[in-house]
Each structure stands twice: as structure tokens, then as C-alpha cells.
Amino acid sequence: MEETYSYLKKVIELTFTQNVWRTAKSINLIASENVMSPLALKVYLSDFMFRYAEGKPFKRYYQGTKYIDELEVMTNELIGKLLDVNLVDIRPISGTIANASVFRVLAEPGDSAVIAPVQAGAHVSHTKFGTLGALSIKQIEMPYDEENMNVDVDKAVKLIEEVKPKFAVLGGSVYLFPHPVKEIADAIHSVGGYLHYDAAHVLGLIMGKRWHNPLKLGADVLTASTHKTFPGPQGGVIASVNEKIFKQISKTIFPWFISNHHLHRIPATAVTALEMMKFGEAYADQIVRNAKKLAESLASLGFKVLGEHLGYTKSHQVLVDVRAQGGGAKAAKLLEDANIIVNKNLLPYDTPDKVKDPSGLRLGVQEVTRFGMKEDDMEEIAKFMKMVLIDKRDPAEVAKKVSEFRQEFRVVRYCFKEEDLENVNLPGTSTLLDLLK
């Protein structure tokens, strides 16, 4: 019995220590993370957390789903409004599961797909080492344009015409500038294939009208995560403009890749979608401005920031070459010791064997923006990074400064406040205002 309580104590200690460290003491620059609003978190912690709803809304294989059915349809509609499409499915429980559901429909095992090169942002799920390989679909990488840090359009078009792949994939996890959607869409359509765009990282920027909408430029299917620049719960989504393909994908999600689809994230996703409708453009605009300012500030302090000749970035991400500071693995660990959370990352000129100790760091500003930071604060973050990596200051000393700085940024912004909810009543009991207290 004593051992049981010892474990219980440790679980609680670790959880609450994490809560304080990551949301009150550290600067989080992981490009694939974000935080939900207080209201989204309230509805996330609901009875739906314990329930099952296999299949599609109003066509379930379980009873007791009438409320989640209505919520799920509503959430699909809200996401559709933000993307200006009618075909949306929120059931994938991650962006990778969404990708798998699309890949399985667009190609058979043994068929080929062309993907954006890893240097231009391809996610591991797009490759032979991830989901594409697990489905036995052959990976063919499009050529890379080093000058523009992007897919080489002319060479990619020629490649598509030669190999006639079943589909092409754009978007991904590490890219600073929009991929050439229209050009690749035209090429893949000319050989009878489809274009799939992975918007996991830029979904919130698309909805906030600070990134192009690939579905308006020729992409047939869009997949995304719901917890990066779109600041909702962890999950995935699929949207399409092609009804035939979309119906096939919807039939594939269940039972091929999921059973129950973690229902508690549905109302939280709906709340986040409503917040994006009201605050999304201002949020996305500040994200992009913050990313650019962080890049400029780091460069002015002596860091080698990629993409200078292109304006550094048009997304939420910044890439920094830290070979002069000991490499990505060492730099990321030193910054973590200083309460600055980043991830080491391969840069376009790294070879695959460098994956454990790459040349670079990938930074993302969406979460610090969510907590209210603006351009001046990006300058402060750059100074903290310089203290650790260039000035060689003691990380523990810098960690105290970071913690003090973070005290000014503890409240989630770009979300519903109490005054926004004064007229939103729950029937006969309480208001949503009460839930926020």
C-alpha cells in the first residue's frame, strides 16, 4: 500500500511541476505545440471523455451518441466555414492518421507518390520511413531549389510528367514559405493524379488569412492537426473539394485507422473554431509578424538565420543554423536548461545521418503569441538565446530571467473572455460565464 501512495505522489508531483514549468516559467518555441483557451479546456474535460461513437454521426454502431452526433456535425461545419469548403471530417485523432486515411485512398500498395523534399518541409509520415512506407506506397522526392528554399517547380513538373504518380504531397512540418500549390496541382492533374496538402502547421494561418488556402489553388484534399497554429486540442482533420474522393476517405477512416475517435476533443475543437472566427485574423497576423521579428532579432545579435534573402519567413517558423554554437543537439539542451524550449532540426544542407545532431534549431512563435507576446518581446527572447548560446552565460542564471519575464504572459489571448459570454446561457442552470470562473 505504501508503494501505491508513493507512485501516486510522484504522478501528481510530476504533473503539477510540468504545468508550472511549461506554462508559467518557460518560453515555449516548439513549432508543433500550442495551448487551448480556458473555455476550450472546460469543455474538453467532459463526459465525452469516457464514451464511444464508432462510425459517422447519426449512423453509429453504439447507442447514447445523440449529443456527440450533433456536436460533430456542427464542428465539421465550423471548420468548413473557416476553410470555405463543405466536405470536412474531424474524426482522425492526429494529422498522421488523417494522412494515412488519404494516402490509402489515393494509391494502392506498390503505386508511387511524389512528395516535397525533406529540405522543403516533408513530414516523416510523407516518407518511406513513415506512413507512406507503412502503406507500401513508393516515395519519389521532388527536386529542391536551394535558392528559394522550396520545391523546384520546373524540375518537379517534369518529374511528375515522367513518372505519372498517383498523387503528390505538399505542406509539412518545416517550411518557411508557401509551397507552389497551383503549379504542382496543374501538373499532377494532367497525369490523372491528385494533390494532397498537409496543412498541419499552417491551418491557423490559413484560417486567419495569412497563408494561402491550398484548396482554392488546386489541392484536392487538405489534412491538418488541430493543435499547432490552430490552437485546439490534439487531433486531426480532413477537408476536401472532391466529393468522390472525400466519400472514399470517410469510409476509410473507420474502421481502417481508428475505432473510437476521442470524443472529448470535439467540443474543444468547436470552441477553438469559434474563437478563430472571431479572433483568428488578428492572431495569425501577430504570429507572422512575431516570427519575422524573432528572425531579424536573432540575426542582428549574431545568429545565422536561414532565409535572409527571402525575408526570413512567412510562416510561424524560424530556422537557425547553430553549428557555430555547438550544433542543434547541444544548443537545444542548453536552451532547455535556461527554460527556453526548442527542438533541434535538420537544415536543408544536412545529410540524413545528422538527424541525432543536426545543424539547426526550429523555432515557432504561435504559443508565445497566444500568451500575448508581440514584436518587442521577440527581441527579448532573442537576447535570452544570445546569453546562453553566444555569450556562454550560465543557463541556470538565464532561466531565472526567463521565468521573471514569463510572469507578464500568463493569460491566454485571442479567445473568449467573460464579457463575450454574458448573453450565452445554459438552459435552466448556469451560464458559460460561470464555467469560466
Amino acid of residue 14 = L
CATH number of the structural domain 41-275? 3.40.640.10
Could you count the other beta carbons within 10 Å of the beta carbon of residue 301? 17
Distances (CA, A) of 137 to 71, 189, 190, 197, 205: 35, 19, 21, 17, 30
Q: What is the pLDDT of residue 419?
A: 74
Which secondary structure element, helix H or strand E, spans residue 238, and what is its range? strand 231-240
Task: Name the pLDDT band for 429 (thresholds 50, 70, 90).
Answer: very low
Own/partner pairs, 40-44, CB within 8 angstroms, 24+ separation: 40/232, 40/233, 40/268, 40/271, 40/272, 40/275, 40/415, 41/268, 42/435, 42/436, 43/267, 43/268, 43/270, 43/271, 44/233, 44/264, 44/265, 44/267, 44/268
Domain with CATH 3.90.1150.10 in the chain: 28-35+281-406
The owner of cell 504570429 is 287
pTM of the entire predicted model: 0.95
CB hemisphere CA count around 149 (13 angstroms) = 21
Q: What is the pLDDT of residue 2?
A: 82
Distance, in Å, from the CA atom of 151 to the CA atom of 149, rounded to the nearest integer, reads 7
Check whether 301 has a pLDDT greater than 90.
Answer: yes
Check whether 132 has a pLDDT greater than 90.
Answer: yes
Task: Name the pLDDT band for 436 (thresholds 50, 70, 90).
Answer: low
Check whether 28 has a pLDDT greater than 60.
Answer: yes
Q: Per residue in 373-414, pLDDT tens?
A: 999 999 999 999 999 999 999 999 999 999 999 999 999 999
CATH number of the structural domain 28-35+281-406? 3.90.1150.10
Task: Name the pLDDT band for 425 (thresholds 50, 70, 90).
Answer: low
Instruction: State the average pLDDT over residues 153-175.
Output: 97
Q: Per residue in 172-204, pLDDT tens?
A: 999 999 999 999 999 999 999 999 999 999 999
What would the grid cell of residue 126 be? 510523407
- Measured in whole angstroms, the distance separating CA 240 from the mean position of its chain's CA atoms is 18
Q: Per residue in 38-81, pLDDT tens?
A: 999 999 999 999 999 999 999 999 999 999 999 999 999 999 99
Domain with CATH 3.40.640.10 in the chain: 41-275
- Length of the chain, please? 437
